[in-house]
Copies of this chain bind each other. A is one copy, B any other.
Amino acid sequence: MDAQPESQIVDAVLNAISEQRLPAGAKLGEQALSELFNCNRANVRRALASLAAKQVVELRPNRGAFVVTPSAQEAREIFQARRAIERTIARQAVARVRDEDVAYLRANIAAETEARARRDKPAELRLSQQFHMYLARLSGNRVLERFLAELTMRSTLILGMYPSAKHACSNCDDHVGIVDALMARDEELLLRLTDEHLRHLEAELNFDLPPVSSVSLKDQLLGSPA
């Protein structure tokens, strides 16, 4: 039972971005994708049109499809939007959360800390995104869930483009506090912690050095000389 090739491609691209296997600016060639998924180019083009409408890829006429490269300004807008949306999600979640949800979230946090110990960045990113998306699902509002899915996707790209100077993102610790507030049904505390968590993430971004890195081979082949 093969799924629709279109959504198959969309999901694959989204997953690859979630784990930072696909960096910002990467090119998505039509032929490459059609061969990779054993489908014709028509389906590839539909998938790319969908991804473009989701603001995940950029379609440059006669050039092809590229993973978007959010600017610093866009990064600010994205995090501001996340604060607005996750705030409402948190308010809904605190009214609906059950014990099994708390159990899931705690397991997620444990898995993320372990992934971090293993220096498994892809797993860490994926688990962190799953944490936020689980809360979104818990809110019961599919519109907000979809919006947040788009924003977390672009947030991952941003984290890859402007990596934090300090290696120690206090990510998991924030999550612990959020789950505690959820379990305590302390809405006020939950809202404050959620907002602060997103501000922490944003504050750690480093917009300085890599303004428009030439994405291609030069940096990948020749490591920066001493």
Contacts and interface: CB of A to CB of B under 8 A. Distances in A.
Contact of A84 (B55, B74, B84): B84
A81 B141 contact: yes
Contacts of A206: none
Contacts of A94: none
- Oligomeric state, in copies: 2
Given A53-B54, A54-B53, A81 B46 contact: no
Contact of A143 (B49, B141, B151): B151
Interface in A139-181: 140-144, 146-147, 151
26 contacts: A6-B49, A42-B42, A42-B45, A45-B46, A46-B46, A49-B50, A49-B53, A50-B50, A50-B53, A51-B53, A53-B53, A55-B146, A74-B143, A77-B140, A77-B141, A77-B143, A77-B144, A80-B88, A80-B141, A80-B144, A81-B85, A81-B147, A83-B88, A84-B84, A84-B87, A85-B85
Nearest to A87: B84
A183 interface: no
A157 to B, nearest CB: 14
Nearest to A10: B53
Contacts of A28: none
Contacts of A151: 143
Interface in A53-75: 53-55, 61, 74
A182 interface: no
Interface in A98-146: 140-144, 146
A56 to B, nearest CB: 10
Interface in A25-50: 42, 45-46, 49-50
A83 B77 CA distance: 18
A189 interface: no
B88 A84 contact: yes
Nearest to A142: B77
A151 to B, nearest CB: 7
A114 B85 CA distance: 35
A190 interface: no
